[in-house]
Amino acid sequence: MAAFAATCGTLSVGNRAGIHSIVPVRPKYRTTRIRMRAAPVYRASSDKGTTRRIAPSPRLRRGLKVLRQFALLTCPLLVAALFMCVAESWSIVDGLYFATTVATTVGYGDLAPATRAGRVFVAVYALFCAARLGAALGRAVDAAASAVVRDGARDGGAEAGALRRMRATAVFLCAVLLLGCLLYAQTLGLPPLDALYFVAVSASTVGLGDLSPQSRAGRLFATMWLVFAALGLANMLSRYAEWRAAVARRQCIEALTGQFNERAFRAMDEDADNRLTQAEFLGYVFCKLGVVTRNEVRDILKRFDTIDANASGTIDLEEVMTIESEAARKRR
């Protein structure tokens, strides 16, 4: 691409709408290819120092992120399935089915390793899947908390956004469960009530083992269905926790701002001077919301007082420049 741009005098750039087009550039511009994780990015710079950076489109970044998550999900399953096929002389369908039941922590118990190598590998693989599951749950909790804080500043609030996402996840989960009921009733020959029981036990990763698919078609379907069912249920629980956190946050804010009496004033007045500043009010509210702790608020205020050398209650540019000059002098 860089050689083509240097020869023809054109460069592919992205306009404000995110649509890539070919626009002419002057010969004095030179192109430099920059390596990025997502996609190659080209930068055009001139002798006047102007720079135009061309980043991948948002749709391309989202597609690459989905492909990366899919690869991280399927690669361990394929490795485990291939190893169990070799170590236990299983078919590829049985290997994928067993690897999926272990990764989703369902564990029906209808398949189990018999060789020493297979048991050692399953021990390591099970711990690896448990660690990844814990990390995924931690990321889900962090994402839910970030969504509550982010949506709180938008119109409609965090509660409405969390409720909207929870409804969408519930529709997806119900569709997955309904599909499982229909197909397992056909493949296992179960009555509707027993099919619902089996789907609920499998999706919740309980896996009692009294019912399990035995045919090749049933196990092949379980390999794909269990992943969507387990992830859908985990996502549903995360969305519900996000919605409950948004409701609790709204109720806490209403309680803090709606009822203001002498007791609340005394609790907010940190320095006990019978005067409540904006910093004291915000610090008390943030502590009650669980954003920060009292000690963290005190450390932040101490840092502010350290920068505010003349104790004026404000920080001006001269004080910042003085701190920078002192830091530069110490580095010398």
φ and ψ at residue 42, rounded to 5 degrees: -110, 140
The topology under which CATH files domain 60-255 is Helix Hairpins (1.10.287)
Q: What is the pLDDT of residue 66?
A: 65
Range 262-331 classified under CATH 1.10.20: no
pLDDT in tens, the chain (332 residues): 444 444 444 334 444 444 344 444 444 444 444 444 444 444 444 444 555 555 667 777 767 776 777 777 778 888 889 999 999 999 999 999 998 888 888 888 888 899 999 999 999 988 988 887 767 666 655 665 565 555 554 545 677 778 888 888 889 889 989 999 988 888 778 888 888 998 988 888 888 888 888 888 888 888 888 888 888 888 888 888 888 878 877 777 776 666 677 777 887 777 788 888 888 888 887 777 777 787 888 888 888 888 887 777 788 888 788 888 888 888 87
All CATH 1.10.238 domain ranges in the chain, comma separated: 262-331
Q: What is the pLDDT of residue 295?
A: 84
Q: What is the pLDDT of residue 287?
A: 79
Q: Cβ distance 168 to 177 under 8 Å?
A: no
Q: What is the pLDDT of residue 137?
A: 61
All CATH 1.10.287.70 domain ranges in the chain, comma separated: 60-255
The rounded Cα 172 to chain-centroid distance in angstroms is 18
Q: What is the pLDDT of residue 36?
A: 43
Q: What is the pLDDT of residue 56?
A: 67
> CA 309, 313, 319, 320 torsion: positive or negative?
positive
Q: Give the pTM.
A: 0.57
Question: Exposed (0-12), middle (13-18) or buried (19+): which is 240, by Cβ within 10 Å?
Answer: middle
